Structure 1
Amino acid sequence: MLASVGTMVRSGRRLHAIPRLGDWPAFAVLALVVLATRALWFGDPVADFDEQLYSFIGWRMTQGDLPYADLWDRKPFGLFAIYALAHWLFGPEAIAYQLVAAASAFAGAILVFALSRQLVDRVSATFAGSLYLMLMALYGSQSGQSEIFHTPLMLGMLWLVRDWRRPDAVGRAAFAMLLGGIALQVKYTVLPQCAFFGAYALYGQWRSGAGLPRLAGLAVSFAALGVLPTALVGALYALWGQFDAFWFANFVSFFDRIPAGRFHRAHLTGLYPLAVPAALGLYAALRLNQPRDWPTYGLFAGWTLSTIGTVLLPGTVYIYYYAALAPCVVLLVLPLIDLRIRFGIVAAMLMVIGPGRLLDLPDRYAYSQTERRVAARLSAAIAPHVDAKRDCLYVFDGPTALYRTTGTCLPTRFIYPDHLNNALESGSLGVSQTEELARILATRPGVIVTADDPVTIQREESLALVTAAVWADYRPLITASLHDRGITAWVRRDLSPT
């Protein structure tokens, strides 16, 4: 199997790695769409919530800190490694990971284009790639969310396993499983998609005449390749003497977190930009414009079902998780936006105009400019009252990016506010939220940051501890509106007497 993987990688002909001359104009258009849907957030340190944590951990990795042991979160090591590489290459600012995310978005768009070409012409495929980029931005992956990094890997798996009749199908499938293993190190919830692609590759070998012993051997090999990246990370943590921290964060805390539910009424309206194109695409395939390659279209539909499994795998589902479905929806809608049919150009235009209107890029640009100015004001107000060695900043609720922009020391390894203020995290951290928060407050942070409108379900005990502390020993330093919430920085009274 390893020999077949090597042969496949060396064979440019088999990989179709060199684009055709006629594809380059499409790639240029897709590059422009990448910039149009992402550049307005370049340099914004508070473009979204989660990525502030990933960025900070990645940046601190370049200084020797270890995820889980020194800075806690439950995301896979590979996600932090992407951010660490970005900051190592391009510096500590947000633009570092945003450039890498833009490159990943472009790679995903190219793969969507290439897969679309199995069913439609170049112009239609260019519309498809553009729609993918717009939907990813619309569903929260406009800056640096994890979906923008694992989605191209899933598209790569699809590209590799799509044709089981090829003589190098086993080698391609093996390489696909390795890609899936890397994707698992970005977000473990891609597991249903990896399982689907593995099962499809085995189905192809069965159709090619492979017997049960051969299929069993391939299944074991595919699974081993998928597990390999995670096993290597675990081995590294064992070598560093931190395997327990790795194991708990990655494979225990996920199940200890209290679920908030997978289905929310508020999500229904937000899913229209995905549900409507998917439904129209399926209708077009069945009634208006049958795909020229039904097995390929069926593979796209099967992948969509497995991706729904990815979205719904966690016990708590947020709307931005649905970004994983963006490429699936785009591939399903291909029969409708096929420019070779009479209404194809109209449908294609409507499909990109709709998300474009919802994105409202001019308004988002103005909003981003305001938010980054507010973040800068908060940093400037806080920085004189904290230090790299003492009088640390503690963000109980607010932007994690302040830990980097103020140059503060860290009062805890649980730096993401959600971990200590969220009632759903009770019992999932390996430490008592109350005890850890009491320990932090006992160090008398120089500044404490709070918010007037919680993002998550607040733990009343945590809120009571912080409220008592700020009213007893702190005074308001600055209050500013960020992401439609009032963020207040409280400075310790002896550091800034009135």
Structure 2
Amino acid sequence: MPKKEKPIVLKKIGSINYQKLDWKTVLFVLCMVALFIRFPFFFRDYIDRDESTFIIMGQSWVDGHLPYTQLWDLKPPIVFLFFALIIKVFGKSFIAIRLIGSLLVALTALFTYLIAKQMTSKKVAFWTALFCVVFQSMFGSLQGVMSEHICTFFFTVGVFLIFHKKHWGWYLTAGILFGLSVMTKLNMVYPLLTLSLYLLWEGFRTKQVWHSFKNLTLMGIATILVIALNVLPYYLEGIPLLCWQSIIEAPMAYSSGKFHSPLKTLPYILVIFGLFAAGFYTKAIDRNSRDLQLLTAVVIGILLSYVQSGKVNGHYLIQLYPFVLIPFGMALSKLRPIPEKFRIVVIVLLVLLPMETYLEFANIIRNKQEKGTFFNGEGIDVPRYIVDHGLETKNIFFTEYHIGYWVLDESPPTKAATHPSNITREELFPYMQNPRKTGLEELKYIMEVIQPKTLVARKGKKIFDKKLVEYNTYIDSYLEQHYTLVATVDRGLIYQRLK
């Protein structure tokens, strides 16, 4: 009896047999690519300040404090729960956090592949998934574990279920996933709304209104249930208002801040819409395809959320990648194949693409040679110096490198100082139930009442945004009168309070 043929990747050297790819093989490849690109960043102190804040908030939850009670940040609680669970299981481990983040990226790309392979060829689906890993892992601060990585994973799996599962139970499951996504990043309520409107319209169009309404109702119930479960601990503690203010009201106030404007989002909106319009016009993207219409509805929702927030950071785009790469990949596949003589150029460009990874590999090797450890960055080196030289750790204020609180087993001086920039976001103070009313009042309270014995800043950079002249003038003057610079560790400045 002939042996059952196993799925293989290589038909011959340099040629992938896409038809024999199964999801396990695809996941393995995606994990390897994600690990290769992201691995050298496992040892860095912080990649984005938001990630440091999530870690600190997660640790506070592990220590028994609900989010927003001891410390505060502008995100729903599931993002903090994600970090809290990792810390609870693995302890204080940068490697564990970044490793699980890499797995999350690979899984998001896998479900992107599973969605795409029902719409196009396995070849296009595979490369779409591969570039999904790349775009979620490169350029700027994307090598860290961001809230967008987490919410996008939940939402992508939910969309996959809506695409391919028709039983009402899967809509219930999708609703749970959408609820988790919204409770990780609140702006995901916009693509959830546009997706729901599309499904309702589809029900009218196909004369299956009751079927669509039933499934959407189940999906909505599940989503609301997840949100209610997030509120429940606060209700039991008698502080539901704090939960409401922190999760709902504060983000709305933040998006109306003075540095935010819908006009800033226009370049991104116009580029994405322009590409979709060109694809539909040239018929490279089939506008009559139900699946592509559904993806377009999701993309429109995400873009609307950017307009509402009035700001688009690089890591915000993580939410878009699974849903725009599929139609773009399908459109590109209809172009003429790259001529043989140019393929070597394409291969070289692909090899050079993860240049940040190569540079970071060199950085950790150099750090190992010079300092005896792969772990690097002022958020690690400054706390090590403080401990080695017996400086005050209990009463410390990190205006930069605030992951140092976690490394030193300490907490920020006030709730508003959890993320250093929150001190200046006085529009958020009423929602974090902060007793001080202005950012400058908060800063003066920290410096003049708490009086940190040790303060950490960054060389060559103003402590606060250069536009905030009043804040910088105050703290520069105060440091000059009451502190002395005792050490410079790379770019980290360590000040001690004068007796």
Q: Could you tell me the TM-score, scaled by structure 1's length?
A: 0.81
SS at match of 2:136: helix
1:261 is matched with 260
1:244 to 224, 232, 241: 241
Contact 1:337 1:344 in 2 (8 A): no
1:315 to 310, 315, 338: 310
Task: Report deviation, 1:386.
Answer: 4.9
2:410 is matched with 408
2:147 is matched with 146
Query: In the superposition, relative to structure 1, how do residues 283 and 29 fare at CA in structure 2: closer, same or farther (>3 Å)?
Result: farther
SS at match of 1:475: strand
1:436 to 430, 434, 442: 442
1:203 to 180, 201, 204: 201
2:454 is matched with 447
Q: Partners in 2 of 1:32 and 1:167 — Cα distance? A: 33
Q: Partners in 2 of 1:107 and 1:189 — Cα distance? A: 22
Correspondence 1:93-172 to 2 at 5 A: 93-139=93-139, 140-162=141-163, 167-168=166-167, 170-172=168-170
2:401 to 392, 395, 399: 399
Task: Report deviation, 1:220.
Answer: 4.7
Amino acid in structure 2 at the alignment position of 1:306: G
Task: Report deviation, 1:248.
Answer: 1.9
Amino acid in structure 2 at the alignment position of 1:154: F
Contact 1:132 1:327 in 2 (8 A): yes
1:229 to 209, 214, 226: 226
1:13 is matched with none
Q: Partners in 2 of 1:281 and 1:24 — Cα distance? A: 32
Contact 2:453 2:497 in 1 (8 A): yes
Amino acid in structure 2 at the alignment position of 1:141: L
2:359 is matched with 363
Further displaced range: 173-182 or 428-437: 428-437
Q: Partners in 2 of 1:367 and 1:264 — Cα distance? A: 38
Q: Partners in 1 of 2:116 and 2:62 — Cα distance? A: 39
Q: Partners in 1 of 2:76 and 2:258 — Cα distance? A: 20
1:79 is matched with 79
Q: CA RMSD in A?
A: 3.6
Task: Structure 1: state its 5+ residue gaps.
Answer: 1-18
Further displaced range: 38-47 or 430-439: 430-439
Contact 1:381 1:477 in 2 (8 A): no
Correspondence 1:244-393 to 2 at 5 A: 244-257=241-254, 258-262=257-261, 275=271, 283=278, 287=282, 289=284, 294-338=289-333, 342-343=337-338, 353=349, 357=353, 359-366=355-362, 372-383=376-387, 384-386=389-391, 390=394, 392-393=395-396
2:472 is matched with 463
SS at match of 2:487: strand
1:476 is matched with 485
Task: Report deviation, 1:291.
Answer: 5.3
Task: Structure 2: state its 5+ residue gaps.
Answer: 1-18, 368-374
1:58 is matched with 58
C-alpha offsets along residues 209-249 of structure 1, whole Å, 9 cap, x if unaligned? Answer: 3457x766655543332222221121211112332322221
Task: Report deviation, 1:409.
Answer: 5.0
Q: Partners in 1 of 2:362 and 2:263 — Cα distance? A: 30
Query: In the superposition, relative to structure 1, how do residues 398 and 373 fare at CA in structure 2: closer, same or farther (>3 Å)?
Result: closer
Further displaced range: 59-68 or 142-151: 59-68
Task: Report deviation, 1:353.
Answer: 4.1
SS at match of 2:54: helix
Task: Report deviation, 1:284.
Answer: 5.7
2:175 to 174, 177, 202: 177
Count of residues paired in the alignment: 461
SS at match of 1:119: coil
C-alpha offsets along residues 324-366 of structure 1, whole Å, 9 cap, x if unaligned? Answer: 1111221121224438964499899959946963754212444
Query: In the superposition, relative to structure 1, how do residues 23 and 230 fare at CA in structure 2: closer, same or farther (>3 Å)?
Result: closer
Q: Could you tell me the TM-score, scaled by structure 2's length?
A: 0.81
Contact 1:256 1:428 in 2 (8 A): no
Q: Partners in 1 of 2:357 and 2:50 — Cα distance? A: 21
SS at match of 1:73: coil
Amino acid in structure 2 at the alignment position of 1:411: P
C-alpha offsets along residues 368-411 of structure 1, whole Å, 9 cap, x if unaligned? Answer: 776924333311222345556x4x1112x201111122333542
C-alpha offsets along residues 116-150 of structure 1, whole Å, 9 cap, x if unaligned? Answer: 11233323222111101111123533221111111
Query: In the superposition, relative to structure 1, how do residues 462 and 382 fare at CA in structure 2: closer, same or farther (>3 Å)?
Result: farther
SS at match of 1:42: helix
Query: In the superposition, relative to structure 1, how do residues 20 and 75 fare at CA in structure 2: closer, same or farther (>3 Å)?
Result: farther
Amino acid in structure 2 at the alignment position of 1:209: K
SS at match of 1:137: coil
Matched, 1:491 2:490: no
Q: Partners in 1 of 2:333 and 2:345 — Cα distance? A: 11
